[in-house]
Structure 1
Amino acid sequence: MTPTQSTSGPSQPTTPPAWPERVAALIPQTETHPFQVIARTYSLSLFLSLGPSLIPLVAKKSSKNALKRVLAREFGLTGFAFSITLAVGGGSVLRDLWRRLDDTLDLEAADTRATGTLKRWSACISSPYKTFLSHVLSSTAGLLLLQAGRRKRQSRSSRPSTSQTLDLTLLFVVRALDAAVQSFVARNSGSSRRDSDAALSLNRPRTAAERKRVRMRSQIDSLFFWACCARIMWCFFYEPQRLPKSYVKWINTLARVDPRLLEALRAIRSQKWSYRTGSPTHQNLLTTYAQELGHPASWGDPTLLPAYGGAHADKIWKSLGVTTRPGVGGLPCQVVHGKVGSSLGLQHSCTANAGLRGSKALVEAIAIYLPVQFLPILLSRPSSLLDPGRVLEALVGALRSATFLSAFVASYWYSVCFTRTLFLAKLFPSISHDFWDGPLGGVLAGSLLCGSSIWIENGRRRGEMALYVLPRAVRSLLPNSWVRTNSLYAVMGERIAFVLSLSALLTAANHHPHILRGLSRWGIRFVVNGPDVVFWRRQDPPKQESA
């Protein structure tokens, strides 16, 4: 017989696991565990807050003290990362504790009066409402912590008292309202599927209900984008203080309007600059501008320009040497157009002005949208660049988005000229150009028409673009007393909106993810459910084959 090894012999010494393995063994491996939610939330929010804060410091080569202040602010307990993690991760912890409490109550053999009452009370609340209530508590704590830190930093500066969390609140409010709209569309389209936007093909919907859902969503998105753009563009010309400064700067980069022309438009609105009554305090506002463009100073003098159209205007134009404005009054288009087309001798042409501005916007937009189309492919599926069809699709997408932006710019300028020069002012020459160049004239016409270019854009991008401009439009509608002061009603209203909106979004991500879309779907779903892999995943050792 072959001798066998005794099982009762001394055991072999085992090597204790290294500390990383011991740490990993303590960390839960499920994506939805509160620890995983907290880790993802803190990482993402720190990236979103620390990156924009460090870039200006690096660009300006700031001192080490400035860097220390930024790091202390962002990593502190009142920083954005910790506050948002408390709001999001804290709700996940509370929801997990509530779930454990329900499991404990279900295992109770003999219910006491207290546990029976608690069990019946908890059973009356559905799982989504439990998630919502948990995040209401944590969101309240997170917002109070965030506002306390920003209020403390604001008190050290000389800036006016302004809500430092208003833009974030509006972002959550808009995304929460969009989720409600998507839920309404899904119910009223007759679609029984609960697919997200990413799962639905906008080009070849699979059912009639899905086609109806896509059509309804596209119409709603386009309507919101059009209305928001009309409000934003009107505010850019007349009330830029209602918009974020960075947004005003970006619009001005595209519009390329001289500041003196903007000031003149605002003076016409306030009746401080008039073709009919003159402008004693602003008479020279545009005369120097006209001279810089190579025209006579009289072309910018409101006391000399005709206020009405018709034959009388033609006599004045003849005396001023203007030959390109028959039958209408107001400021010559050469002054309005600026230097656009001057190198081609087309500074007087409204069509050339709109076309050249649109062409320049097209070139600049292509440079922006090409990386937007190809960067996700390079990061996720670089091998698909070998597919000519995929490359062509990305190129067409970039060109389509660039064409949208080009049409946006060109249509605005052409609408202004169509109103004050080409048609409407000629059709009604008895109406003063104080009206045509006022807030209800060319500026309003351009603001109303430019947003219609959204129909050029891809259907899915219409929704994301509508959600991008909507917070800015909502902000411009708020009373200045709400935005510029910290009154009790404004503070309480913002807090309620923040808490309810964020709680609703997190509840939707946990229970109704199909109503989220775009960046909100990606960001919140990443935080709640994680990517394909989780943080600190423990690798199980390979199984050894038996001898």
Structure 2
Amino acid sequence: MAVFPVSLASPSSRGKWDDRIPPILRPLVRAYLLGYASSVAPRLLALLLQHVTVARRRRKQATTAHDAPDGQPFLSSLQRILRGGLDWQRFPTFCAALVGGSTLLELPLRRVFDKLAKNLSDIARRSRSRLTTWFASFIAAWLSLQLLQSKQTPSFTDTVADPEDVAGAPPRTVRYAGRTLDLTLFAVTRALDVIGGELWHRRKLRRQAAGGWTAAEAAVSRLTDPAIFALSSGLVMWTWIYLPSRLPRAYAKWIGFAAAVDARLVKALQACRDGTILYGQDTGAAPLLGSMCADLGMPRVWGDPAVSIPFRCDIVHMGTSPSCEHHAAGRFARSFRWALATYLPLNLALVWRNPSLAGLRRALVSAARSSAFLGTFIALFYYGVCLARTRLGPRLLGTGPAARQTLDSGVCIAAGCALCGWSILLEQPARRKDVALFVAPRAMATFLPRRYAAGKQWRETLAFAASTAVVFAGFFGGLLVGVLGK
């Protein structure tokens, strides 16, 4: 069982840059630098790309030397990003407090457990190293998350009038919790994976030893991660269509960018569900899809729900083709190219450190598989929608206005959500768990409010601390091993 190191290690196993740092403090320093890099690097990359884009646009438009781009805004933004990462209430300090605090607390706690060992049961005595790690991690996680939660931001504060409505009373500031919800759900998901994985592994060993391990149980082992991803991604896509405010803004924006769908079509689907659009009735919603049809070169009447029952799939296809199958294939091709432009440079960058023909081949295959996964995800979602509202749905529910209303008010989206996630089977088996555990916390967040009363924040802190302690005491991922120097 791995525990946090508290003893001296040979300098030969360390990087030269931290040889002079006391071994007990090395995890803290590494965690802080890693947290700072992960916090600042994406912002620096976005700033650089934005600066290059603006500079190119200005150079094309420039007619005199005075039109050259000014570097002062770039430098001020660069300084703001670099300084912002040093704020003691931000992610780097949180990482240092979590990892470093766990390490520093483990030594005194171990001494306490050693003194109590005589009074402990045999099981507790054998497990005191894990208990020490658990308690040290729990305390460090509790305090480090409170450090993040102590920072006030405008999106989690409101200014309201005095409830007693006293004349001349100044408004008061109400603070809400929820800033760290995504981080907490990430920890909870990882802890559940640790517990479930450990229980299933023990069951597998017992069954194999007894000769009773079946093909069905082996299939469960293979399909658990894909099923978790399929369920989680389906919930996320459903939420993105009907309840987008429950998703993180940046995440919802990325989904919209990848889906490449006209916002008017999404609003029409929402309107079908809430009854604003009713087939066979003039509810004043005709201009919504009518304007979209006009922009796509289609007759406006195709978007009028009082006349077109249902609105044609050509609108869902955004004018690319009347064929649902042709549209799905086109979606796959476009999404594959878009994803490959992202995945291929990243995979090649990893090979650059140790270039080889075999490494290049692995990078190309990995990028192609990941791109095919994302392309298939998008294509299956759209085809699932068409399958329900055009191909199979009318055969099962009928073709009348009421049946069409049912199909377009949720059934078609549910079909797309049910299909899209199984594209994960195209990914490498080793990556399926990582992708599933990335999406699962976001799916869990759809059942919770993005903001909640500050008085209930202790529940989130407790969940984070307990989950982090389970993860730290139960396993160490490759990243954590590098931070701790194991």
User: Could you tell me which of 465, 469, 472 is aligned with 1:506?
Assistant: 472
* Matched residue, 2:341: 367
Distance 1:213 1:507 in 2: 27
Worse overlay, 77-86 or 254-263: 77-86
Q: Which amino acid aligns with 1:253?
A: F
Aligned CA distance change for structure 1 residues 406 and 66 (closer, same or farther; 3 Å): closer
What is the 5 A alignment of 1:127-146? Answer: 127-146=129-148
| TM-score calculated relative to the size of structure 1 | 0.71
* Matched residue, 2:38: 48
SS at match of 2:308: coil
Aligned CA distance change for structure 1 residues 192 and 421 (closer, same or farther; 3 Å): closer
SS at match of 1:303: coil
RMSD: 3.3
CA drift of 1:422 comes to 2.4
Corresponding pairs, count: 429
Distance 2:130 2:158 in 1: 42
CA drift of 1:251 comes to 1.6
User: Could you tell me which of 479, 486, 492 is aligned with 2:458?
Assistant: 492
Deviations 1:141-167 (A, max 9, x none): 211122112459965999994521111
* Matched residue, 2:367: 398
Distance 1:238 1:89 in 2: 42
What is the 5 A alignment of 1:177-256? Answer: 177-190=192-205, 215-256=219-260
Gap runs ≥5 in structure 1: 1-22, 106-116, 194-206, 307-329, 341-346, 514-520, 531-547
CA drift of 1:69 comes to 4.9
Distance 1:42 1:214 in 2: 41
* Matched residue, 1:314: none
User: Could you tell me which of 409, 413, 425 is aligned with 2:394?
Assistant: 425
Distance 2:269 2:207 in 1: 53
**1:474 paired to 2:444:** yes
What is the 5 A alignment of 1:90-129? Answer: 90-99=101-110, 120=119, 124=125, 126-129=128-131
In percent, how many aligned pairs have the same letter? 30
* Matched residue, 1:199: none
**1:147 paired to 2:149:** yes
CA drift of 1:339 comes to 3.2
SS at match of 1:277: coil
**1:166 paired to 2:181:** yes
Distance 1:339 1:289 in 2: 10
* Matched residue, 2:422: 452
Distance 1:102 1:227 in 2: 42
**1:292 paired to 2:295:** yes
**1:37 paired to 2:41:** no
| TM-score calculated relative to the size of structure 2 | 0.79
Distance 2:86 2:28 in 1: 15
CA drift of 1:185 comes to 2.5
Aligned CA distance change for structure 1 residues 449 and 99 (closer, same or farther; 3 Å): same
Gap runs ≥5 in structure 2: 1-16, 52-70, 160-172
Cα contact 1:299–1:332 (8 A) shared by 2: yes
Q: Which amino acid aligns with 1:438?
A: S
SS at match of 2:460: helix
Cα contact 2:105–2:136 (8 A) shared by 1: yes
What is the 5 A alignment of 1:532-543? Answer: none
Distance 1:445 1:230 in 2: 9
Q: Which amino acid aligns with 1:412?
A: F
Deviations 1:341-386 (A, max 9, x none): xxxxxx211111111111111222222232343333323x32xx13
The structure with the largest helix share of the pair is 2
User: Could you tell me which of 82, 85, 89 is aligned with 2:96?
Assistant: 85
Worse overlay, 415-424 or 231-240: 415-424
Cα contact 2:113–2:132 (8 A) shared by 1: no
